[in-house]
Structure 1
C-alpha cells in the first residue's frame, strides 16, 4: 500500500512539475488538483478572497461553496462565524492537512495552508462533494500545496511580503468589490489595518513621473511612510493612497503638505478626493481623485496638486458639455455684458466676476481690481442698470457665476 502511494505521488509530482513550467499555470494547477483529489477545491488568501477555484463543478447545495463561487468572498455572516470559531488559528496550527466541518458547509472539507518563507499566505479547501475522502488525499494535498507555493511566487499579481498583504484588499476596495461595510471592517481586522473616521483617496499620476530618480514601489512606500493612518497601492500603473484622519484641516494643511516637495521633485501629479466616512465609498472617491487631475490639467496646467472639491462645478460642466448644450446655460446678461465690453472698451465682465467671487464685498472686489471702492460701487450700479438684473437675487448671482465657470472651462478645454 505504501509503495502504491509512493508511486502515485511520484506520478503526480511529475505532472505538477510540467504544469509549473508553463506560463500562467495557476488555474491549470487547480484543475490538475481537482483531478488528483477527485473533488472540487478553492484557494483563498488570508482575507478569504478566492485566488483560484475549480472552474466547472456540480456543487449547488453547499452554501459556502456557492457564495465563494459567485461572490469570490465569504459573506459577512459566514466570515464572522469562522472568525469567532478561529478557523484561521486552526489552519495556522496544523502543519499537515486537516478536516473541517461546520453548519455552513454541507460537505466536509480537507484543508491545508500554503506557506512561503514560513508565512501563511493562502489556504486550500477541498470539498467532499463527488466522493468521501481517502487517506491518500492528505499526502496529495500536501504535495499540491507545495506546488501552489511555487506558482504563487511566480505570479506578479500577488506581493507576499508581510508588509504588503493589504495590496489586494485595497485594489478590491478601489474596484468597488465590497458593498458590506461590516465585512470590510472584519477583513481590516484580519489584516491589522487601522484607519480613522474620515477618509481621503489620493491618486499620484505617473504621466510625467521621473523614473530616473525613483521607482513606483519606492514612491508608494515613501508616501505611505510619511502619512499617518494611510495605506498605498500601485493601481493602473499609478500610486493610490487610502488616507484617514480625525482632523480634516490638519490632514490637508500639515500631512499632505509634507509630501508636496518630494512629489513635485518626481513630477507626480496629485488628485485628492473629498473626505468621506463610509469605506464602501472608496471607488467613488478614487474616481474623484482621478477626475481632479484631469480637470486640473485642463484648467491649471501650471499646477500639480489638485483637490476635487475645487473642481466639482467643472466636473458638472464637463459632463454636460459633452452633449454640446453647455453654452446654452450661459446667462444672457453675461453675453450682453461681454458684447458691451467689446464695443466700448470697458472691463465690466471682470468687475462683475470679482464682485460675485468676493460675495458682493465692494472693498475686497475693489482691492482685487486695484481700484477705489467708490469706483467699484458705481461700476456695480452701472452693470445692474445695463443688464436689468437684480444682483441681490441669489439665483441670478449663481447663474452668473456658473456662466463664468462654463466660459472658463470651454476656453481652456479648447486649447
Structure 2
C-alpha cells in the first residue's frame, strides 16, 4: 500500500531535530537503505541512511531520514536525533510498513468478501487506537465500534451507541453554530474540536456523485489524535466508499435531520418521555399538543418524486414527513384552527394529484403517543388497499370496520347481523325497492328526516312513508338504542365484509 509518510513517522515516534512540514500527499510504498553509492532516489520510497550523497539525483515525491543533513536537498528530508542508530530506524520503519500492509490486506478481504461495515469499523478502531463510527448523511449509524465503556464517553457519542443516531436537538445546535456547514466544507479528513462535542474527532465526508452521503468519525478519547491519524483517515474513508460500492445493500442517501428521531418515535423504539421531550424542543412542537399520523404509499418508486412529495406535505400543513421503507410517514400538528377535517380534505386532494394510498390516524393528545396512532395509520392503509379499494382512509370514519375486520377471522359475521337487514335485502330484490338503503341512511343520519332525505334525493314525505313501511314489514323498533347500534354494525358488515 501507499502509506502517508506522516503516518509512518507518527507510528515510529520519531523525534527529529529538523522537521519540515510533511504534506499528506507524500506517500511511502517501500523502505530503502541510503548509502554513499546511491545514485538516484525514486518517488514513493523512504530512504534511510547516514547522509544524502552529494551527487545523487532524486525524483519528485521522494523522502529521506538521515543522521546528518547539510543544506536543502530539494526534497523532504528529516534529520534523526543524535544517537539514533540507522539500522534500528531502518528496521523500525520496515516493521511499521509491514504492519500497515497487513492491516490493508485484512481490510481488502472484508471489502471484497462483503463482510459488512460493522467488521470494518471494528478493524478501523484497532488500527487507529480510537473508536470508529460510520453514519449516513442524516447521522444515523451504519456501523459503530461498541467497545467503549459508556461512562467514559461524552453524552453525544453515548447517544450514537445507545440509540443508533444523533439526536435532532444536537443537530439543531450544530447547525445554529454553523458546525455542520463547516464539517461539510472539507474534501479531506479533518480533526475537529467543536463546542457540541466533548471529544476531538476526525471527520471524513463520504462523497458520492458530488453529494455528501455520510461521515466517517474517529473519536479521540483513548489516545491523542495525531496528524498521521488524520492523513490515514483519508485512506480509510476511500475504503469505506469502495465497500459501499461493492455492497449495494448499504443505501446511504441524505434525509432530514429529524428522520431518525421520528422513525424511533413512531416505531416505538424511543419511549422515554424525557428523551422525546428533549429532542422535540428544537422542532417547536408541544409535547402535549394535538397530532395525527399518516402513512402514504406512493404510486411509483421514484426517489426524486418522493422527495418532492415530502416537501409538498411539509408546506401544505404543519408537518414532519420522513421516508421509511420507500413510504412517507408524516406527523401533523393540529394546534390552533387546523382541525383534522381540513387536513382530510387537503390529503384527499394530495392523493388525487399524486396517486397511491394513504391511511390517517385519529387526532390524539401527546406527541409521545405517536407509536399507538401510527399503527392506526398502518391499519387504514391496509384496509384502503385490500378491503375498501379507497386511496385515502381516515381511521375516525372506519374504526368500527376495523373491529369487524379483525373479528371476522374468528366469527361468521352473518350471525352478528340484525335479521331486519336480511329481510329488507330480500324484499328489495323481489320488489325492486330501496328499503334497506333507506334504513341505512336514516340510521347513519341519526334519524334526522331532513338530512336523510337530502342524501337520498327524495322528498321528506316519501322518506316518512318508507320508514313507516319498513317498520311494518320487519317489526323493527327504531326507538330502541341497542337496536339502532346493531343495525349500524350490520350495515358495515353487509357493505364491506360480506359483499351483499
What TM-score does the superposition give when structure 2 sets the normalisation length? 0.60
Provide the residue aligned with 1:26 in structure 2. Answer: 117
Provide the residue aligned with 1:165 in structure 2. Answer: 257
Question: Which among 211, 232, 237 is matched to residue 321 of structure 2?
Answer: 232
Query: How do 1:287-302 and structure 2 match up within 5 A?
Result: 287-298=375-386, 300-301=388-389
After TM superposition, give the deviation of residue 127 of structure 1 in Å. Answer: 6.0
Q: Deviations over 1:277-323 (max 9, x none)?
A: 4333434333333332332235543x433323222221111111111
Q: Hey, what's the Cα distance between the residues in 1 that align with 2:151 and 2:444?
A: 64
Q: Hey, what's the Cα distance between the residues in 2 that align with 1:4 and 1:137?
A: 10
Task: With a CA cutoff of 8 Å and minimum separation of 6, indicate the structure with the bigger relative contact order.
Answer: 1
Provide the residue aligned with 1:363 in structure 2. Answer: 450
- Structure 1 pair 125/396, CA: closer, same or farther in 2 (3 Å)? farther
Report whether the alignment pairs 1:274 with 2:362: yes
Query: How do 1:23-102 and structure 2 match up within 5 A?
Result: 23=114, 25-37=116-128, 50-54=141-145, 71-72=163-164, 95-96=190-191
Query: How do 1:68-217 and structure 2 match up within 5 A?
Result: 71-72=163-164, 95-96=190-191, 111-116=201-206, 121=215, 123-125=217-219, 128=222, 133=223, 139-140=228-229, 143-144=232-233, 147-148=236-237, 151=240, 156-160=250-254, 164-188=256-280, 193-194=283-284, 197-206=289-298, 208-209=299-300, 215-217=302-304
Q: What 5-or-longer segments of structure 2 have no aligned partner?
A: 1-7, 13-27, 29-92, 184-188
Alignment check: 8 A CA contact 2:204 2:233 kept: no
After TM superposition, give the deviation of residue 35 of structure 1 in Å. Answer: 2.5
Q: Hey, what's the Cα distance between the residues in 1 that align with 2:142 and 2:386?
A: 40
Q: Which of the two has higher C-alpha Rg?
A: 2
Query: How do 1:325-364 and structure 2 match up within 5 A?
Result: 325-341=412-428, 346-364=433-451
Alignment check: 8 A CA contact 1:216 1:234 kept: no
Alignment check: 8 A CA contact 1:220 1:233 kept: no
After TM superposition, give the deviation of residue 372 of structure 1 in Å. Answer: 4.0
Report whether the alignment pairs 1:259 with 2:350: yes
Alignment check: 8 A CA contact 2:334 2:340 kept: no
| RMSD between aligned residues | 4.6
Alignment check: 8 A CA contact 2:453 2:460 kept: yes
Q: Hey, what's the Cα distance between the residues in 2 that align with 1:258 and 1:345?
A: 37
- Structure 1 pair 116/233, CA: closer, same or farther in 2 (3 Å)? same
Q: What 5-or-longer segments of structure 1 have no aligned partner?
A: 103-107
What TM-score does the superposition give when structure 1 sets the normalisation length? 0.71
Q: Hey, what's the Cα distance between the residues in 2 that align with 1:137 and 1:315?
A: 61
Which is helix-richer, 1 or 2?
A: 1
After TM superposition, give the deviation of residue 359 of structure 1 in Å. Answer: 1.4
Report whether the alignment pairs 1:390 with 2:481: no
Which is strand-richer, 1 or 2?
A: 2
Q: Hey, what's the Cα distance between the residues in 2 that align with 1:49 and 1:402?
A: 46
**2:191 partner SS:** coil
